[in-house]
Amino acid sequence: MSRVQEARRQLRRAIRKAKRDCWNCFLQESSGNDVWMAAGYTEPRIDKAGQALVLEDGSVAEGHHDRERAILEAHFPPAPPGSYKAEGGGRAFERVNPQLVGALLGKASNTSAPGNDRVSAAILKMFW
């Protein structure tokens, strides 16, 4: 390894160590509401454009295109093999009972906490 590469490697290690030490010091010296500030630093951020969506691989959708892809993949999965008719389209939509879905969504609170997928009832109502 060249001296430049070794120097860069040592610099990266020193920066990581300094960040880790700073974070540990902050956590040890925190009291009261500082704990909640630390929790805010560790949670995924939700931008003003919408809710944070978690992709199938566990990562958080960062931008508009990632959120769009996450919603499409989660709510519009590919049809099972053999259920698609080339001339008339799929038939899976016929199994959905619109009255039941509408009634259940109507009972859901807009202020309830989102589930594991981080999609709130208000967003589901908006899509419906």
Is residue 36 in some structural domain?
Answer: yes
Q: Would you state the pLDDT for residue 88?
A: 56
**Between 124 and 13, residue with greater pLDDT:** 13
CA distance linking residue 47 with residue 17, whole number of Å: 30
pTM greater than 0.75 (yes/no):
no
Is residue 76 in some structural domain?
Answer: no
Q: By residue range, what is the domain housing residue 13?
A: 1-43
Looking at this protein, which amino acid is placed at residue 11?
L
**Based on the structure, what is the number of domains in the chain?**
1
Is residue 57 in some structural domain?
Answer: no
CA distance linking residue 128 with residue 119, whole number of Å: 13
Q: Would you state the pLDDT for residue 17?
A: 96
Is residue 75 in some structural domain?
Answer: no
Is residue 105 in some structural domain?
Answer: no
Q: Would you state the pLDDT for residue 83?
A: 54
CA distance linking residue 122 with residue 4, whole number of Å: 54
